[in-house]
Amino acid sequence: MCFGSKDKTDDTPGPRPAQPQQSPSQAPGKVNMPSPAQYNDQNDYAPPSGPPPNFGHNQQHSGNDYAPPSGPPPSWGHNQSSANDDFAPPPGPPPTHARPYQNNDDFAPPPGPPPSHHQQRHDDFAPPPGPPPSHHQHHQDDYAAPPPGPPPSHQQHHDDYTQAPPGPPSSQSKPPANKQHDWESFVPDTALFPPPPAFFTGYDRSHTTNATEEEANAGEAWCAANPLTAPMDLDPVALDALRTHNIRLMSSPQFRGKLDWVSAGVWKCKTEKAAGDACIISYPPLYCVKYDSPLIPSHTSRTTKTIYYEVSIPRPASNNPFLGAMGGGSGGGNDEITLALGFTALPYPAFRMPGWHRGSLAVHGDDGHKYVNDRWGGKDFTRPFRRGETYGIGMTFTNTGGKLDVNVFFTREGRITEQWDLHEEGDAEQDLPVTGLEGFHDLSCAIGTFSAVEFEAVLEPGRWKFRPQGL
């Protein structure tokens, strides 16, 4: 492919460039540059004619664009016009040698002596005239001399927080006429109130006869091996005995004494002096969940259920061999009534007093303490039992909106003397759970005996001194 405007019909070959001529004076192997005339129309890259621009000192204005300006350098121009002395130093001596002028003395020191020599107008930091303040007696003695007059402790009307204020006590002064909140008339003096009840009065041991630690551990082991049973179904004979209050008392083989049936719901018991701890229970249970619980849907008309029994302690007779060691009719001897009245869920260890283990409660006659799952010393409750008196214990279960409230009460000679709520506030470290006594397990009468004791148990309501409600 070709580029140009030559006629295509002209076959004449194009001109060739002239071959360089080697002059004799040239060394072999060197070639002289062709002259400009040899290029004719193809000298586009030839140098311009004439000498280089740096040789043109006398060229016209169009050819001296890169020529240096005329005249000496600017540093030599001392008399140039104002347009050429931009970088020239200002006329005159340096500023340090210049004397202060009226318009150029901004940084010059003020005229006159230094401020320390001024006495009238520049004495701001000078000491005040006259002697120091400590020598002033009348006007500047605030921190030097004590205030005039006696000390505050000798002043009669000075406010002193260690002295009583003048005048009568505030309790003897009359209240203001516009007093609005007379709280004294609504809050009585509590100094005359009886002391509050002692909630946490548990004992580590009783002050009377105590069982050994080995026996307590044996009772705990027995309870662990024999858990509480579910509510039982009674046969027709047991149901009839429960309805007629013909309750039977049962003792264990370890019981040392006599337990005799007197009449329907009445039993007499005598124990020996060497008798150990024992628990006598009733059958059928006085409280049977499947027949007596106030939560039974068919018992909508009855919201409470009460179980109760009484025990009479006769005066000693001279011919009673079991009570001879207790003083009998001869006086003297041990006056403790080693008898306990309570209730227990089943089963319960027969060789332990009621109230000492789970699912049981009792009031002990030797110390008057109440025991609720407590194998230590119990809590203060009532005075100890006495011969010739009748005592009773009962529990009342009340349906309160789908749950049971349990109240335990104690009677003496047919009157309620003490009672407590089974779920009352207790000590978390001393009190153990009351499981088994809350109305969801069958509960039997539980009479505990130790050593020589005589009593009569009455389970027939017609012979009770106290007539409870809700039987």
pLDDT digits (tens, 9 = 90+) for 369-381: 999 999 888 999 9
Range among 52-56, 112-116, 370-374 rated most confident: 370-374
**356 pLDDT more than 80:** yes
Residue length, the chain? 471
**What pLDDT, on the 0 to 100 scale, is given for residue 20?**
46
8 A C-beta contact, residue 249 and residue 350? no
The DSSP line for 233-264 is: PPPHHHHHHHHHT-PEEE--TT--EEEEEEET
The DSSP line for 328-392 is: TTT--S-----EEEEEEESS--TTS-TTSSTTEEEEETTT-EEEES-SS--EE-SPPP-TT-EEE
**What pLDDT, on the 0 to 100 scale, is given for residue 439?**
95
Q: 113 or 458: which carries more pLDDT confidence?
A: 458
**What pLDDT, on the 0 to 100 scale, is given for residue 349?**
96
pLDDT digits (tens, 9 = 90+) for 148-203: 776 665 555 444 444 555 666 554 555 555 656 666 666 666 666 666 555 556 67
**404 pLDDT more than 60:** yes
**74 pLDDT more than 80:** no
Structure tokens at 33: 């540059």
Percent of the chain with pLDDT over 90: 44
Spatial neighbors of 143 by CB under 8 A, at least 6 apart, are none
The predicted model gives 123-128 an average pLDDT of 66
pLDDT digits (tens, 9 = 90+) for 286-335: 999 999 999 998 877 788 999 999 999 998 764 555 444 443 333 334 57
Edge-first strand listing for the sheet containing 379-380 = 248-250, 278-283, 443-449, 339-345, 360-364, 369-372, 379-380
pLDDT digits (tens, 9 = 90+) for 418-446: 999 998 876 666 778 999 999 999 999 99
